[in-house]
Chains A and B, each alone.
Chain A
Amino acid sequence: METESQESILGAGMVRRSFLRYAGIGVASVGLLATAACHKDHSVHPTSGTIDLGATGDVAILNYAYALEQLEAAFYLQVTATPYSGISSSESALLTDIRDHEVLHREFFKAALGASAIQALTPDFSSINFSSRASVLAAAAAFEDTGVTAYDGAGYLITTPAYLLIAGKIVSVEARHAALIRDLITPGSFAGPDVVDTTNSLNKSASIADVLKIANGYLKTKVSAVNYGYTAS
């Protein structure tokens, strides 16, 4: 039972079904990634359980986003499946909304990338106590704030205007999530000094390496970006 619920949460075991489903919207996918070749270089290394984003370029960056969205979606699916003790109805509604956004981001990247998509990742949430509000919200804030710094920090690597626009459409929603979660933890911390520079009021941004180091702490399937200077350890 545990395994089954984990599988449905994580999307593991659904790769084949998803492939069949998305084969049906191949035309739409072509619209976004018309030139995306079938990248074989981000297949799983059987011994390490590590995948790589592959050659530098837009496909790698979209897969980077896809990896982060998979992680966020899996997290909120678990949060809503096993709500923390004392969760209020308004918090439950907000976290359910966020879950739905992250699941859609994940599904969008999967559809857009088509055959170029990395595999479904297996998360490791053993460091999170899902029955504790403090533990869940702290993890949520970490995921959201990291997501914002990731999109802001990788935007310049995107070469296709349409993809850059889509990244922009998503990052502001992640920032809305981040602000809400932070205010649930501490009212008034929506743009706190740990995430927004106090001198110029720019959100912090982060490199692929810095972000993947954090993300891999929550992943059994480690993600590398060798061509962007980061190898998962």
Chain B
Amino acid sequence: MNLFNIIEEIENVDPEVYGRISERRDVIKNITSFGSKVALAALPFAVGTIFKKAYADTSATPSVIDILNYALTLEYLESTFYNAGQAKGTALIPAAAATNYFNQVTADEKNHVTFLKGVITSLGGTPASIPEIDLTAGNGSGNGPFKDVLTNYSTFLAVAQAFEDTGVRAYKGQAANILANKSAAEGIKPGLYQTVLTAALSIHAVEARHASAIRSIRGQTPWITSTSSLGNDTGISLVNANYDGEQNVVQGGVDVTTLKSATGNTTSVAVATAAFDEALSPDQVLAILQGTFLVKK
């Protein structure tokens, strides 16, 4: 997160900020001591900012804190979703599925939230606050296209799958941005780059484990099996954007369908798309989530 922007926001909320602290750099030094007031004051604007700054593939490189707050925002969404589902008990989730699957997934997402907040704080950043969420994808109306998400298990599973597959894509889209911050991270603390990148990849792998399990519960292949024209293999057209791009078959300049397979001289589109998961940029994630699951005022 850009500290100077934060300070401007503080100034908007607390015009006396410079009166109370003589120098601008002292504001930066003391920013964590403002504690919750800063967090509460600065963050209502933050969701869109976080997404916009965490661009995966444009010229502006987000900072490590931007990237971590972006990840935190997505984890808040997942964690809120599973907590709400679990709270419904067996009225929503069959007991065996809770025992075998959703207790684990819910705990993991909660742990990811706690972990990311801890890392952001330890780096002197301010963790993003939890955004306003509408699990029906209704932008706050509670009456969106998934309005039975907490009363109909099949809707719950469909949303869970979309969240997990999208989460995998979102983390993947940040790996190169973390690499772009390598020098900056090493300047803060030697070894920090390895720590942050490895942590991001490791959360990414856990999201993929969740996606695999939930897809299996839904009777789908654990991997995303696209056609040449449609990335989305869920059978739910509402989530086409979440899967758009998964139909890609060109990796590192190589059309992998031209490579030999176990059974022939070429590889099918189904195998080629399933063998490689694709990334999403924050722009794309924002377009999917904001105004639907994340309330946009």
CA distance A214 to B206 in the complex (A): 22
Tell me the residues in window 96-113 of chain A with beta carbons closer than 8 Å to chain B beta carbons.
Answer: 97, 99-101, 103-105, 107-108, 111-112
For residue B212, CB closer than 8 A to chain A, the reply is yes
- Are A103 and B101 in contact, CB atoms less than 8 angstroms apart? no
For residue B253, CB closer than 8 A to chain A, the reply is yes
- Are B262 and A172 in contact, CB atoms less than 8 angstroms apart? no
- Are A111 and B194 in contact, CB atoms less than 8 angstroms apart? no
For residue A221, CB closer than 8 A to chain B, the reply is no
Q: Which residues of A contact B197 (CB under 8 A)?
A: 155-156
Known contacts A25-B254, A104-B271, A179-B222; decide if A187 and B172 are in contact (CB<8 Å).
Answer: no
Interface segment among A119-127, A157-165, A225-233: the answer is A157-165
For residue B278, CB closer than 8 A to chain A, the reply is yes
- Are A31 and B206 in contact, CB atoms less than 8 angstroms apart? no
Chain B: CB-nearest residue to A107:
B259
For residue A66, CB closer than 8 A to chain B, the reply is no
Contact pick for B201, options A166, A171, A187, CB 8 Å:
A171
Write the nearest CB–CB distance from A68 to chain B, whole angstroms.
14
Known contacts A103-B261, A156-B193, A176-B222; decide if A29 and B209 are in contact (CB<8 Å).
Answer: no
Q: Which residues of B contact A30 (CB under 8 A)?
A: 253
Interface majority SS (helix, strand, loop, mixed), chain B: helix
Q: Which residues of B contact A202 (CB under 8 A)?
A: 115, 199, 202-203, 206
- Are B267 and A104 in contact, CB atoms less than 8 angstroms apart? yes
For residue A217, CB closer than 8 A to chain B, the reply is no
Write the nearest CB–CB distance from B295 to chain A, whole angstroms.
27
**Most chain B C-beta atoms within 10 Å of own C-beta, residue among A155, A199, A204:** A155
CA distance A46 to B25 in the complex (A): 63
For residue A5, CB closer than 8 A to chain B, the reply is no
Known contacts A168-B279, A201-B112; decide if A97 and B271 are in contact (CB<8 Å).
Answer: yes
- Are B209 and A203 in contact, CB atoms less than 8 angstroms apart? yes
Contact pick for B256, options A21, A77, A108, A179, CB 8 Å:
A108
Q: Which residues of A contact B209 (CB under 8 A)?
A: 175-176, 178-179, 190-191, 196, 203
Tell me the residues in window 7-26 of chain B with beta carbons closer than 8 Å to chain A beta carbons.
Answer: none
Interface majority SS (helix, strand, loop, mixed), chain A: helix
Known contacts A107-B260, A183-B213; decide if A155 and B254 are in contact (CB<8 Å).
Answer: no
CA distance A177 to B101 in the complex (A): 16
- Are A172 and B172 in contact, CB atoms less than 8 angstroms apart? yes
Interface segment among A37-45, A49-57, A133-141, A146-154: the answer is A146-154
Contact pick for B206, options A32, A105, A188, A201, CB 8 Å:
A201
Interface segment among B84-92, B126-134, B173-181: the answer is B173-181
**Most chain A C-beta atoms within 10 Å of own C-beta, residue among B176, B203, B211, B262:** B262
CA distance A153 to B100 in the complex (A): 28
How many residues on B have C-beta within 8 angstroms of the other chain's C-beta atoms? 63
Contact pick for B222, options A155, A177, A199, A200, CB 8 Å:
A177
Q: Which residues of B contact A223 (CB under 8 A)?
A: none
- Are B254 and A101 in contact, CB atoms less than 8 angstroms apart? no
Write the nearest CB–CB distance from A188 to chain B, whole angstroms.
3
Interface segment among B103-111, B142-150, B153-161, B286-294: the answer is B103-111
- Are A162 and B198 in contact, CB atoms less than 8 angstroms apart? no
Q: Which residues of A contact B254 (CB under 8 A)?
A: 25, 28-29, 31-32, 108, 111-112
For residue B58, CB closer than 8 A to chain A, the reply is no
- Are B213 and A190 in contact, CB atoms less than 8 angstroms apart? yes
For residue B35, CB closer than 8 A to chain A, the reply is no
- Are A201 and B107 in contact, CB atoms less than 8 angstroms apart? yes
Q: Which residues of A contact B66 (CB under 8 A)?
A: none
Chain B: CB-nearest residue to A169:
B276
What would 23 A/B residue contacts be, using CB atoms closer than 8 Å? Answer: A28-B255, A31-B252, A32-B254, A100-B267, A101-B271, A103-B260, A104-B259, A105-B275, A148-B205, A163-B252, A171-B208, A172-B277, A173-B276, A173-B277, A175-B212, A176-B215, A178-B209, A183-B213, A187-B100, A188-B99, A191-B210, A203-B202, A205-B198
Interface residues of B (CB under 8 A from A): 99-101, 104-105, 107-109, 111-112, 114-115, 168, 171-172, 175-176, 179-180, 193-194, 197-199, 201-213, 215-216, 221-223, 251-256, 258-262, 267-268, 271-272, 274-279
Rank and list the top 9 A-B pairs by shortest CB-CB distance, nearest first. Answer: A31-B253, A188-B100, A201-B111, A32-B252, A175-B208, A179-B212, A172-B208, A203-B205, A161-B176
